[in-house]
Amino acid sequence: MSQLIQLAADGQASIVADAWTRVVPPAAGEESVRKQAGKVVLFKLTGEQTYTAEQIANTEIPATGKILVPLTIWQARKAELQSRLAAGELGIILATNETAEALQAEFPDLNTLPLIAVFVERFADGRIFTLGNWLRTRFGFKNELRAIGDVLRDQLFFHKRAGFNSFLIRADRSAEDALASLNDFSQPYQGGVADVPVWRRVNRA
């Protein structure tokens, strides 16, 4: 069963097969676990390195089919990926500690990408919402915007309103169950990426 929920142009949600293969770098040789005041640090800060040079070099990239590649891999190995981009077989993964500006520096017209995925390592990392919003409103991205990683049903309504139109539900959870959460609220107060504040939407007088 696929874990991928996709919104059609009319907003209708359905579970669909995932045509994309996610390129995952190998685990780092020595994962350094940072600690602060006895607590393990759980979040990468903005601008912090995502993968080491060694990981990037050792990443295996499938020779055919649609591939979803981390931005850092693209940056380091774009020569060998150019043809895939031209063929419409390349999507990019942006991590929440990476910036939309860095993505645009690589792809001045983001719409050359059929798919951008934002990877959220931990569901509580709300940067994904601002990134989604920016990609849609500031950078004019019109194609598929996908939330991947620690994606759970209780955040889906926010993801949707922040501009995401596909959601890869975490592997151990039911995408079928998650569908219901996309409709938690029927008339939200504030605007989202696709709508205006309620007082511009309906007559409340």
Task: Give min distance, CB of 144 to other proteins, in A.
Answer: 19
> Looking at beta carbons only, is 24 or 152 nearer to other proteins?
152
Task: Give min distance, CB of 188 to other proteins, in A.
Answer: 6
> Looking at beta carbons only, is 34 or 142 nearer to other proteins?
34
Q: Which two tokens stand for residue 58?
A: 């050792």
> Taking a C-beta distance cutoff of 8 angstroms, is the pair 97, 47 a contact?
yes
> Looking at beta carbons only, is 21 or 133 nearer to other proteins?
133
Question: Which residues, listed in sequence order, are joined to residue 94 by a DSSP beta bridge?
Answer: 118
> Taking a C-beta distance cutoff of 8 angstroms, is the pair 205, 41 a contact?
no
Q: What is the C-alpha separation between 90 and 123, in angstroms, rounded? A: 25
> Looking at beta carbons only, is 45 or 63 nearer to other proteins?
45
Which residue type is seen at 79?
A
> Taking a C-beta distance cutoff of 8 angstroms, is the pair 91, 62 a contact?
no
The residue to which tokens 């889906």 are assigned: 156
Coil, helix or strand at residue 204: coil
Task: Give min distance, CB of 48 to other proteins, in A.
Answer: 9
> Looking at beta carbons only, is 87 or 122 nearer to other proteins?
122
Task: Give min distance, CB of 167 to other proteins, in A.
Answer: 14
Inter-axis angle of helices 153-161 and 127-137, nearest 10: 30
Coil, helix or strand at residue 40: strand
Residue 123 backbone phi and psi in degrees, to 5: -60, -25
Task: Give min distance, CB of 77 to other proteins, in A.
Answer: 27
Task: Give min distance, CB of 22 to other proteins, in A.
Answer: 23
- Rule CB under 8 A: which residues touch other proteins? 34, 36-37, 39, 41-46, 123-127, 129-131, 133, 137-138, 152, 154-155, 157-158, 160-162, 181, 184-192, 196-200, 202, 204-205
> Looking at beta carbons only, is 63 or 205 nearer to other proteins?
205
Q: What is the C-alpha separation between 1 and 25, in angstroms, rounded? A: 25
